[in-house]
Chain A
Amino acid sequence: MQTAERDAAFEAYRNEVYTWASRLLGRHHDALDVAQDVFLRWVDQCASAPPRNPRAWLRRVTIHRAIDFRRSNARRRTRETRSPASPVHVDESTVARDELRNAIADAVEALSEMQQSVLFAKVYDGLTFGRIAAELEIAVPTVKTHYLRAVCALRDRLGEQWGP
């Protein structure tokens, strides 16, 4: 992959990378941290084995890195929240929203990488099954199977916490 192609992909997908990370993390600076990390990996990847489909690669790595980021920060955030020296005042809707985001992120974490990619491509990017199949280089029926399994798994996990 040439430098120009690599940079063009960066320009084309930087907002999407940030948005995918934001969906799972909810915080501007966390999402920027992940976006930065993803593009560093993007440069490394382009130098060694350029991905055939940049968007699919970036989506998969962003979801993966955002999940890792959540996991590594979970303990720290719990400490900060409980610290009496730094009380955090947030309204109830924000708390409820964060709880839902966390529940969804936990559920997404439990999916396979392919299910995560298909789910994000369909629900958040609004791609058709045919387009997703082309991006991921798999058959359309396989995409549909991954999609259904992902939604069913999320329903089961979210249903435990949020009701049917």
Chain B
Amino acid sequence: MTRDELKAMLADYLGDELGGDRKVEFEAALARDPKFGAEVRGLQETLERLRTLDAPTPMPTATSKSARSSAVPKLLRYAAVLALAFVGGYLARGPAAELPRPPLTGTSQETVGASSSESADAWRLRLAKAYAEHPSDSSLARSLVALVHSSE
């Protein structure tokens, strides 16, 4: 097996998609070509390093005291953003104007393509509020879904 043939199989080998006889053949060829073998080992080590960044538990729930306390500044930040957004919207629209309608009130038949910048802003406000209410656990996701469904 030539060096070019080995290179053509390299992606499959590193991607663990070289099966059966081809893998055996490839590894035997690597053994006969120490320089290329060393290069391949270097690439494998790189991939191993990448894999050491193990995935966290999906959307983990932070219940420790430190996690709760670290969430407080974030809560205040989002509350402040929420308050500013409401005040800004109130001033811009005038006191007699109606509050923006919830953006996601359409039925499942309705497309989002019709949503305006107003509804996008309102969606943001609701997301910020949901996030402020549940800053340290997976409720971000659950709140979003609940908000969307409650308005439909």
Interface 0/1 of A6-29, CB less than 8 Å to B: 110011001100110011001011
Which among A3, A22, A32, A101 is the interface contact of B106 at CB below 8 angstroms?
A: A3
| Minimum CB–CB distance for A79 against chain B, Å | 15
Is B150 part of the binding interface, using a Cβ–Cβ cutoff of 8 Å? Answer: no
Q: Which chain B residues lie closer than 8 Å to A23 at the CB level?
A: 53, 55
B15 contacts the other chain (Cβ, under 8 Å)? yes
> What's the count of A-B pairs with C-beta under 8 Å?
124
- Could you list 13 A-B pairs, sorted by A, with CB under 8 Å? A2-B108, A3-B110, A3-B111, A15-B58, A18-B56, A29-B136, A104-B53, A123-B51, A124-B50, A128-B17, A147-B14, A158-B46, A159-B42
Across the interface, do A122 and B15 meet the contact criterion of CB distance under 8 Å? yes
Chain A residues with CB under 8 Å of B67's CB are 28
Which residues of chain A have a CB within 8 Å of any CB of chain B? 1-4, 6-7, 10-11, 14-15, 18-19, 22-23, 26, 28-29, 31-32, 35-36, 39-40, 43-44, 46-48, 50, 97, 100-101, 104, 119, 122-124, 128-129, 144-145, 147-148, 151-152, 154-155, 158-159, 162, 164
Contact of A164 with B42 in the complex, beta carbons under 8 Å = yes
Contact B112 A1 (CB under 8 A): yes
Residue of B46, B111, B148 contacting most chain A CB atoms (<10 Å): B46
User: Does the CB pair A28–B43 fall under 8 Å?
Assistant: no
**B59: shortest Cβ distance to chain A, in Å?**
5
Contacts of B49 in A (CB 8 A): 100, 104, 158, 162
B-side binding surface: helix, strand, loop or mixed?
Answer: helix
Q: How many Å lie between the Cα of A122 and that of B47 in the bound state? A: 10
Q: A148 to B144, Cβ gap below 8 A?
A: no
The answer to whether B70 touches A29, judged by C-beta atoms less than 8 angstroms apart, is yes
- The answer for the CA separation of A148 and B51 in the assembled complex, in Å, is 16
Q: Which residues of B contact A (CB under 8 A)?
A: 10-12, 14-15, 17, 42-43, 45-47, 49-53, 55-56, 58-60, 62, 67, 70-71, 74, 104, 106-113, 115, 120, 123-124, 127, 131, 135-136, 140-141, 144-145, 148, 152
Given contacts A15-B58, A104-B50, A147-B11, contact A36 B140 (CB under 8 A): yes
Task: Return chain B residues, CB-CB under 8 Å to A31.
Answer: 56
Which of B55, B71, B124, B152 is close to A22, meaning CB atoms less than 8 Å apart?
A: B55
